[in-house]
Amino acid sequence: MAALMDALFRPRSIALVGASGDADKHSSLPQKHLLQHGYPGVIYPINPRRDTVLGLKAYPSVTEVPGPVDHAYIMLPTRQVQAAFEDCVAAGVSCVTIMSNGYSEAGAEGLQRQARLLDAMCGSHTRLLGPNALGVVDLNAKVALSANEVLSLKELPVGDVGLISQSGSMLGAILSRGAAAGVGYSKLVSVGNEADISVAELIEMMVEDRETGVIQLFLETIRAPEALRRAALKAHAAGKPILAYRLGRSAIGQDLAVSHTGALTGNGKAISAFLKDIGIAELSVFEALLDAPPLFRHRRASNGGIGVMSTTGGGGALIVDNLGERGVNVIAAEEPTRERLAQKGIDIGSAPLVDLTLAGTNANTYGAVLSEFAEAPEFAAVVAVVGSSSQFRPDRAVAPILSVEAHKPIAVFLTPNAVQSRALLREAGVAVFSQPEACADALSAWFHWQHPRTQPDEADNITLALPPRSNDENTLSAAEAQTAFASLGIPQVQEWTLPTDPAQWPDSVLAAIKFPCVLKVSSVDIPHKTEVGGVTLAVSDVDMLRTEAEKMKARISSKLPGARIDGWQVQEMIQGLAEVLVGFSDDPAVGPIISVGMGGVLAELFQDVSIRPAPVTRDEAKLMLEEVKAFAPLRGYRNLPIGDLDALADVVAKMSNLARCQNGHVVEAEINPLAVLPKGQGVRALDGLIVLKRVVESPSLAS
């Protein structure tokens, strides 16, 4: 790790492959940036058509360079990259960054190109950053190895924030905005396609880096979730917070899901749940990414709320409103805090927002209130809002902020464009914001930030009761799914199975059916029965059962002419207190996910769901239930009957164990609806769906 870090961030020598002597070309920029920012090592321009490049001796190839090369930066047309990369490997270069694109992001042909790069590395000590990576910046080591034009800035503030970006251009944008705002960085790196060096590995490097205290991620996807989990655990153990801003929160790809679960965990919700689970704080306002780091230098030490004090009622209300929308608890000062301030002649009242007004805009009053809030145990963090005085009279309210020693986060929101005050606060390490949305977003991320969850013991694999299947069968029938769920120990509703033709219905089965009952179609082609009229409630007797089966067959034939009808499910009528959806899916980015929320046909409409990486324990499942607003009636809201939430949590935990299935790879599964009965009476699964990964046979020798 140490050797790779040196080659990546502090190389003693750099080869610029494709370096141009034409100052108007992007391929001339890395050399200019390195020289401009005082790179102390040796630069080798690689250009077979020139003897010199921008005053430095050029070489035809890396293997012809007279000394060892720690880091090579390739900026050639895609068709020329493979040969240049192989030349770097032959020369024993420790680390190669490929800026060129046209690889895994460019489809099947690009994937093949990327595979050839990895093949060329086999057996060597060369490591690859990228391809499609814009480069590396280490401001402490004076390494500005990138073609991003933001490095043309003369002054780049140095700080302790390390940035890892999956977007090359956004690395430059963040550095530019940070420089303008006085935000300092230690290291910045664009990872590109992560063919070799990954986000997770770079996090581990920054954990080891003494100059980095806070790690920021600009993410587009997650490529190696378990490696990222391990890296996040190391960062947490080292006391280095990780903040993430993520693209990809749109609805693209939801229509690929078979079940309701796919829609409920879409919009990037599965990734957000995963990041929270591994202790990474996610921000949703881009500006907050720049301003938030000072908040996260404090771990949340209490369960208290947020205290808000202001010199302007309107500015304070902006913060309170934005925090409230994000589910952050803004509270009033408790009686002991108010009494201590009253003894100093300051009456703050009992409202959640302490508006000191213009009369309180002085060092004595503002400083006294802030000092008390910083010590008050009821507050986990404090927001100090300052109005126009921050721009024109910073001695009145900004100076007191600088003098307060706090062991909890203090976020400052300056309502005017107070450039000088903002710079003073940033220099002192105070989290200062110029946008109320960014301030509230950063505080919300901090407020909901949690320790990484310890996953349950992975030794307990499970075996599902699965029917034999052929290569083209991956969706179980409802009856088969319910049998599989029953093998997990999940209670099922009493059910009778009948063949498709009513003339073949056994008298013994008909005699056992309890009326009134529910009739459902059984078909692997119909995952959502209600949408095609495949469910009939309150069937009163055998004659009605036969009649409704014929009607149902006709409805389905009309709406889905090609759908197979495998038979009929007849179930006892269960009237629970609520219908719940418990879903499982193998998310393509982060792996197994468990979800629970409102069930029935309205599951997707309300999107009221709690999500976790699977598996979860029963205690974690109980916490999930507390997050679902629709379950308030089951908790006895306004004296309503209490539901059996213990039994529901048990089902969620058992369902999450599908992540450990050893006799089939479950892609999607859900129980919808699961009837929740009164406390002590349990739950009953009324319908289920399981989609397995298709069986792919290995090609025979003859083929």
| CATH code where residue 604 lies | 3.30.470.20
Task: Please report the pLDDT score of residue 24 as a whole number.
Answer: 86
Residue 68 preceded by cis peptide, ω within 30: no
Q: Are 489 and 354 found together in one domain?
A: no
Q: Are 540 and 679 found together in one domain?
A: no
Selected residue with higher pLDDT from 14 and 687: 14
Q: Please give the Cα distance from 422 to 433 (Å, whole number).
A: 8
Q: Are 95 and 123 found together in one domain?
A: yes
Tell me which residue has tokens 């993520």.
246
Kindly indicate the confidence band of residue 258, based on its pLDDT and cuts at 50, 70 and 90: very low
Task: Please report the pLDDT score of residue 250 as a whole number.
Answer: 55
Q: Which of 222, 247, 272 is the last residue of a domain?
A: 247
Q: Is the pLDDT of residue 697 over 50?
A: no
Give the pairing of strands 410-414 and 379-386.
parallel
Q: Are 433 and 381 found together in one domain?
A: yes
Q: Are 176 and 30 found together in one domain?
A: yes
Q: Please give the Cα distance from 321 to 394 (Å, whole number).
A: 26
Residue 436 preceded by cis peptide, ω within 30: no
* Planar angle of CA 502, 505, 506, nearest 5 degrees: 165
What are 347-404's pLDDT values in tens digits? Answer: 999 999 999 998 888 999 999 999 999 999 999 999 999 999 999 999 888 999 999 9
- Residues 272-290, mean pLDDT to the nearest whole number: 96
Tell me which residue has tokens 């020798």.
701
Sequence-separated (6 or more) residues with CB below 8 Å from residue 343:
none
Q: Please give the Cα distance from 206 to 462 (Å, whole number).
A: 38
Kindly indicate the confidence band of residue 249, based on its pLDDT and cuts at 50, 70 and 90: low
Kindly state the percentage of the chain with pLDDT values over 70. 94
Q: Are 385 and 324 found together in one domain?
A: yes
Sequence-separated (6 or more) residues with CB below 8 Å from residue 388:
312, 415, 416
Lowest mean pLDDT of 127-136, 325-334, 451-460, 562-571, name the range: 451-460
Kindly indicate the confidence band of residue 470, based on its pLDDT and cuts at 50, 70 and 90: low
Can you say whether residue 489 is alpha, beta or left, with left for phi > 0 and alpha for psi between -120 and 50 degrees?
A: left
Specify if 284 maps to a domain: no
Q: Are 327 and 433 found together in one domain?
A: yes
Q: Please give the Cα distance from 330 to 318 (Å, whole number).
A: 12
Q: Is the pLDDT of residue 256 over 60?
A: no
Kindly state the percentage of the chain with pLDDT values over 90. 81
Nearest to 555 by CA among 537, 529, 573: 529
Tell me which residue has tokens 């219908």.
579
Specify if 223 maps to a domain: yes
Provide the 8-state DSSP code for 78: H
H/E run at residue 173 = helix 168-181
Specify if 277 maps to a domain: no
- Residues 239-256, mean pLDDT to the nearest whole number: 73
What are 570-610's pLDDT values in tens digits? Answer: 999 998 999 999 999 999 889 999 999 998 766 666 778 99
Q: Are 559 and 652 found together in one domain?
A: no
Per 3-state DSSP, the chain is made up of helix, strand and coil in percentages (nearest 5) of: 40, 20, 40
Answer yes or no: are the C-beta atoms of 591 and 611 closer than 8 Å. no
Backbone angles phi, psi at 196, to 5 degrees: -130, -80
Kindly indicate the confidence band of residue 546, based on its pLDDT and cuts at 50, 70 and 90: very high
| Interhelix angle 419-427/394-403, nearest 10 degrees | 10
- Residues 218-226, mean pLDDT to the nearest whole number: 92
How far is C-alpha 367 from the geometric centre of its chain's CA atoms?
38
Answer yes or no: are the C-beta atoms of 150 and 170 closer than 8 Å. no
Which CATH number goes with the domain that contains 341?
3.40.50.261
Task: Please report the pLDDT score of residue 252 as a whole number.
Answer: 45
**Which amino acid is residue 298, in one-letter code?**
H
To the question of pTM greater than 0.75 for the whole model, the response is yes
Sequence-separated (6 or more) residues with CB below 8 Å from residue 685:
482, 485, 490, 491, 492, 493, 651, 671, 674, 675
Specify if 264 maps to a domain: no
Q: Are 615 and 566 found together in one domain?
A: no
Kindly indicate the confidence band of residue 696, based on its pLDDT and cuts at 50, 70 and 90: low
Task: Please report the pLDDT score of residue 253 as a whole number.
Answer: 42
Q: Are 83 and 232 found together in one domain?
A: yes
Sequence-separated (6 or more) residues with CB below 8 Å from residue 11:
41, 70, 71, 94, 95, 143, 145
Q: Which of 224, 247, 270 is the last residue of a domain?
A: 247
Provide the 8-state DSSP code for 699: P
Kindly indicate the confidence band of residue 201, based on its pLDDT and cuts at 50, 70 and 90: very high
Answer yes or no: are the C-beta atoms of 60 and 45 closer than 8 Å. no
Kindly indicate the confidence band of residue 701, based on its pLDDT and cuts at 50, 70 and 90: very low
Specify if 157 maps to a domain: yes
Q: Are 513 and 489 found together in one domain?
A: no
Which CATH number goes with the domain that contains 512?
3.30.1490.20
Q: Is the pLDDT of residue 266 over 60?
A: no
Q: Are 47 and 178 found together in one domain?
A: yes
Q: What is the CA radius of gyration of the chain?
A: 31
- Residues 177-191, mean pLDDT to the nearest whole number: 94
Specify if 509 maps to a domain: yes
Q: Which of 554, 572, 590 is the last residue of a domain?
A: 572
Task: Please report the pLDDT score of residue 268 as a whole number.
Answer: 82
Specify if 269 maps to a domain: no
For residue 437, give its domain range. Answer: 299-447
Specify if 274 maps to a domain: no
Task: Please report the pLDDT score of residue 458 as a whole number.
Answer: 58
How many structural domains are present in the chain? 4
Beta-strand runs (E) in 330-389: 353-355, 379-386
Which range scores top for mean pLDDT: 77-86, 216-225, 516-525? 77-86
Beta-strand runs (E) in 578-647: 578-587, 591-598, 609-613
Q: Please give the Cα distance from 341 to 142 (Å, whole number).
A: 50
What are 298-350's pLDDT values in tens digits? Answer: 988 778 999 999 999 999 999 999 999 999 989 999 999 999 999 999 999 99
Q: Please give the Cα distance from 457 to 656 (Å, whole number).
A: 13
